[in-house]
Structure 1
Amino acid sequence: MRKLSPIILALALSPLVQAEPVSEVSPVGKIDGMVSLPVTGMKAVESNGRIVFMSDSGRFVIDGTLYDAWS
């Protein structure tokens, strides 16, 4: 019985660690278009009629206006 307890514990906890589907987690949702920016590591992404800025890895999303302070 002692060998079964870690297995039973893992099975009991497995529903608690399941990931949500990507569509519920992503702040961007469906991507309609994407272009690279003259900023290293950034892209402009069109989604549902709005523009957001996303890092190349997809980890960071900026929702707002991006200004070029040098122009």
Structure 2
Amino acid sequence: LVRLAKSYVDGIDTSDNLQTVKSLISQANNFNADVLMPYIEDAATMSIAWSVGARYLQGYYLEEASNTINAM
């Protein structure tokens, strides 16, 4: 599993950073590694995350952080 750094997510709405993230995800996929994109704070960022191929998303837009672990 590859977890992207906050700096990639913060600037994902810029063309250069978007291309960098796409490239990183493509390289991770070549190694059969899933990608976790953290810091999803709004619907626009979530949409971009799915469109570039991030397999897992994490952030306050999806669910507030908890002090306990809930097994599913």
Instruction: Report the TM range for the smaller structure's normalisation.
Output: under 0.3
TM-score by length of structure 2 reads 0.18
Q: Whose strand fraction is larger, Structure 1's or Structure 2's?
A: 1
More helix by share: 2
TM-score normalized with structure 1 length: 0.18
Task: Give the greater-gyration-radius structure (CA).
Answer: 1
Kindly indicate whether structure 1 or structure 2 has the higher relative contact order, using CA contacts under 8 Å at least 6 residues apart: 2
